[in-house]
Structure 1
C-alpha cells in the first residue's frame, strides 16, 4: 500500500510537472517562431546586399580585365649563382638581359602582382583569395601555375607539410566562406574531379574511387569528358581525395613535367526559400613545364611529349591573348587543355596565371620565355601609354573598393543581427532541450513507478492466488475433520449405547448370580438338616460339585463381560 501511495503521489507530481513544461514549451515555441520570422526577414534584407556585394566585388576583380597575371620568383640554391632579377616595386620585375649591344640591357615586365623570393605561401594566397571568393559567388575561376621545370610551380600549388599550397588553402577558404555565408535557408555543397592531361589524352585519376555521385561533364557539350566526382564535406575529405589522385598519378617525375594536372572543385548553391540554384567551379591547374625542344630531344617519346606540351601551352596563350584583346573568336578548339577549360576562360569567368621563374643567369632564357608568354597573355609589357591606363584603372578600383567596403560593413552589421537572432534561437532551443530532458526524467520516473506497481500487483496477485488455494485446501481439511469428528461422535454414541446395554445385562447377570447364590445357600442349609452325616457327606460332595460348576460358569460370564467392555472402551 505504501508503494502504491508513493507511485500515485509521484504520478500526480509528474503530471503536474508535464503540464507546466508543456505550457512553457508552447511559450518557447511561439518565441522560436517569432525569432525564425525575424531571422527570415533579416535574411531577406541581407540577400539583396549580398548580391550587390557580389556585383561590386566582381566589378573590382575585373577592373583591369578578366585575366590576371602574378609573377613569383623562387629562392636561389647555393650553387645557382647570382640573381639577374630585380624588384623595383610589387608590380614590376626587372630582368638584366646582359645584352651589351643595347643601351639599356634591363627589361621591365609589369604584372598585377610580383613576388620576390622572400614571399611565403600565406602572403601569396592573400592575393589569390579574391578569386576563391569569386568562385563561391557563382563565377567560374581558373588558376594556372606556369613556368619552366623546377621553377616552383608544383610547390606553389601543393606546398609542403608545414606550408600548404593553393590546393589546400583554396578549399579551406571555400569551406570557411561557405559556412559563414550559409543561412537556415541556404546550402553549399562541394565535389572534386582530378584529371591528368598527357598527349592530348585525359586520364581520370579518381576513376577507381567509389562512384557515389553522378559523373560530371568537363568541356564543351559537343566534346565533353565524363569524370568521376567525389563529394567532399570538409578539408580532411579534400586532402583524402587528393592523396588518392596523387597515388593514382604515379611517381614518374619526368612524366609530370610533360603533363597538365587539373583539379576542379565543383560548387553547388541552393536557396530553399527563393529556389535559387547556382553552379560554379574553381579549377586549379599545374601546367607542364614550358620547355624548349633541345637537340638531344629531337626524336623519340620525349620529343613527342614536348611537342604536345608546346602545342597546348601555345593554344592556351592564344586563348588568353584573344580574351585580353577582346576578339570575337577565341580558339578554344586548338587544344584539349583549352577545350576542357573553355567554360572557365572568357565570359564572366576569372583567370589567374601565376608565372614562376628562376632568378639565376643560367635560367635566363627560360625565364624570359615564361615572362614573354604571360606578357603576351596579359599584354603587360610596360610602355608610357599603358602606365596611364593602369593608373586610371587603379583609381576606378579604389572607388570600387570604397563602395564595396561600405556594402560589406552593412552586410556584416546584418550578419551580426542574424548571429544575435541565431544565438537567441540557440538559447531557446537549449531551454527546450533542458525541459525536454526534465520531461524525459519525469516520464522515466513515472514509468519506473508504474512498472514497480505493476510488478507489486503481480506479486500480490500471485500471493493471493496461493493463499486462496491454501484456504481451499484448509477448508477441505476442516470439512474432512468435521466429518471424521461426526463419525467418531456417532461411534461414541453407539459405544455408549452398547456399554449401557452390557451394563444392564451385567446387572441382570449379577442379579441372577446373587439369586443363584442365595438359592444355593438355602438349598445347602436345608440338606444339612434332613440328612444324615453319611448322607450329609455324600450329598455335600455332590452339591458342592454343582456349586463349583455354577461358580465357574459365572466367572466366565464376568470375564466375557470385562473383555467386551474393554473392547468398546478401546
Structure 2
C-alpha cells in the first residue's frame, strides 16, 4: 500500500529585531537632550535624563545607562534603504513560496509610518519590498508563471476596514483550516507592477484614520496591514505544483499618554483602544519569549484583532522582522525604554518556516502521477495482447485460438478491475488524509480552548465538554491512522 506523503519540512527561525533611532526635530533640539548613543551596528545605550539619580553612580556604584543588543541598530542618520539592506533576503523568500512579516513597533511620533511608508526621496520598507518582489519576478529565468495580488486593511477601534474599498463596512476575522486567520470579504486586487501597488498604497493611506495631536501632527489612529501574495505556478507536464508566498507589511499605531497628547472625547477613546491592542501585542511577545525560554506558556492572541492577524508572523509559518523605532528626546525616555524592553524580549521568539504548497494542487499532482503509472501499465498490457493475437494468427487449430482468446478476455477484465480498485484505494487515502487534517486542526483549537478554561475555571461544565470532545477527536485520529496502514 502506498504511503501518504509527509508534509514539507519546517525550519526554525528566530524573529529578527532591528532598532531605528530617528533624528531630533527642530523643536526638540531647542528643548530636549539627546539620550540615545548608538555604540555600533548591534548595540545601543539609553541614558536616564533624571539628574536626581546621579547619586547612584557616586554612592552605590550603579550606572544609569541601559544597554541593549539587537540584530541591527541604526543611528539617526540612517535611511530606510540602509534598514532594508539587512532584510531584503527575507523579502526575496516570498517569491520562493515562503511567508514573511515586517512590522514597525514604537510610540507615537517615533517614526513608524516614516519607516514603513517613507517619502518620495526616502521610500519606506513597504515600497522597497514590493519593488524587490517585482524585480525578482522580472529577472526569473524559469518558465514559471507568477500571479501577484495585494490587499490593504486597517484595524481601528477593534474594527477591521478595507482600505481599498471607498466605503468599507465592518469586516470579520475567520479561521480557515488550511490558510489560518483570514478576513472575510477583504478585497484582493491582482497587480502587474510595483507602481500599481504604490498607487493602491497611496489610495489606502488617504483613507486611513489619522489625527493631529500634541505628540504628533499626523498621528496614525489605526493599525494598517498591507498583504502581498505571490502565487508561483511551476510549469511541468501538468503544471500542477503551485507555491504561494505571502508578505505582510504592518504599520502599527503608536502608544501614547493622554497627558502628552492632551486628547479628549473621541481622540481619548481612540488612544485607549490603541494602547489596549498594543498591550495585547506586548503580552503575546512576553508569553512567546517565556515559551521559548521556559517551555509551554499560554499566548493570549484572542485578546485583540491585531494579535490574531499577526499570529502567523509571531509564532507561525513566517520569517519575521520587527523594526523598533525610538525617539532620542529625553522627554520620550519612558516610551523609548518600554519599546526597547519589548524588542529585547522579542529576540527570543521563534517561528517555524516552510514552503506553502497548495494541498489541492498537491493532490491533483498525485492523481496525475498515478495516471501516468497506470498508462505505462496499460501500454505494457496492450503490447502483451498484441503479441498474443499475433501468436493466435499462426496457430493451426481454431480450438487453440478460442482458448487463447478466452484467456485474454479474462486477463483484460482482471486488469481493468485491478486498475479501478487501485484508483479507488488512492482516492480513499486522500480523503482519509483530509479528514485527519481537519481533525488535527480541531484538536489544536480544543487544546487552546481547554488552556483558556483551565486558567479561568478548572471545574466548569464547559471544560468537561471540551475534554470529552478532545477525546473523541483523538479516537478518530487513532482509528484513521490504523485504517491508513
The residue matched to 1:206 in structure 2 has which SS?
A: coil
- Summarize the Cα distance change of 1:243–1:295 in structure 2 as closer, same or farther, 3 Å threshold: closer
1:169-180 alignment runs, 5 A limit = 169-180=128-139
- Summarize the Cα distance change of 1:251–1:153 in structure 2 as closer, same or farther, 3 Å threshold: closer
The residue matched to 1:203 in structure 2 has which SS?
A: strand
**Largest Rg, 1 or 2:** 1
- Summarize the Cα distance change of 1:288–1:295 in structure 2 as closer, same or farther, 3 Å threshold: closer
Report if the CA contact (8 A) 2:209-2:220 is conserved.
no
Determine whether 1:69 maps to 2:28. Answer: no
Match of residue 160 from structure 1: 119
1:358-373 alignment runs, 5 A limit = 358-373=327-342
Q: Any stretches of 5+ residues in structure 2 without a counterpart?
A: 1-7, 57-61, 350-485
1:60-209 alignment runs, 5 A limit = 65-80=13-28, 81-98=32-49, 99-102=53-56, 103-184=62-143, 186-208=144-166
- Summarize the Cα distance change of 1:165–1:219 in structure 2 as closer, same or farther, 3 Å threshold: farther
Report if the CA contact (8 A) 1:264-1:282 is conserved.
yes
- Summarize the Cα distance change of 1:182–1:207 in structure 2 as closer, same or farther, 3 Å threshold: farther
Q: Structure 1 stretch 245-254 or stretch 358-367: which is displaced more?
A: 245-254
Q: Any stretches of 5+ residues in structure 1 without a counterpart?
A: 1-53, 211-215, 381-570
Report if the CA contact (8 A) 1:187-1:271 is conserved.
yes
Match of residue 407 from structure 2: none
Report if the CA contact (8 A) 1:219-1:340 is conserved.
no
The residue matched to 1:345 in structure 2 has which SS?
A: helix
Report deviation, 1:179: 2.4
- Which of 219, 227, 231 is equivalent to 1:268? 231
Q: Higher strand proportion, which one?
A: 2
Report if the CA contact (8 A) 1:219-1:342 is conserved.
no
- Cα distance in 2 for partners of 1:179, 1:100 equals 59
Match of residue 285 from structure 1: 250
Report deviation, 1:218: 6.3
Q: Higher helix proportion, which one?
A: 1
Report deviation, 1:340: 2.1
- Summarize the Cα distance change of 1:132–1:217 in structure 2 as closer, same or farther, 3 Å threshold: farther
Describe the superposition over 1:515-541 as per-residue Cα deviations: whole angstroms up to 9, x where unpaired: xxxxxxxxxxxxxxxxxxxxxxxxxxx
Report deviation, 1:172: 0.5
Describe the superposition over 1:349-381 as per-residue Cα deviations: whole angstroms up to 9, x where unpaired: 12211111111212212211211222233359x
Report if the CA contact (8 A) 1:188-1:267 is conserved.
yes
Report deviation, 1:156: 0.7
Report deviation, 1:238: 1.0
- Which of 289, 310, 327 is equivalent to 2:275? 310
- Which of 356, 368, 378 is equivalent to 2:325? 356
Report if the CA contact (8 A) 1:149-1:291 is conserved.
yes
Report if the CA contact (8 A) 1:290-1:370 is conserved.
no
1:286-435 alignment runs, 5 A limit = 286-294=251-259, 300-324=265-289, 325-326=291-292, 328=296, 329-379=298-348
Report deviation, 1:256: 4.5
Describe the superposition over 1:149-185 as per-residue Cα deviations: whole angstroms up to 9, x where unpaired: 221111111111122111111001011122233512x
What TM-score does the superposition give when structure 1 sets the normalisation length?
A: 0.51
CA RMSD, 1 decimal:
2.9
Report if the CA contact (8 A) 2:14-2:347 is conserved.
no
Report deviation, 1:295: 8.7
What TM-score does the superposition give when structure 2 sets the normalisation length?
A: 0.60
- Cα distance in 2 for partners of 1:152, 1:294 equals 20
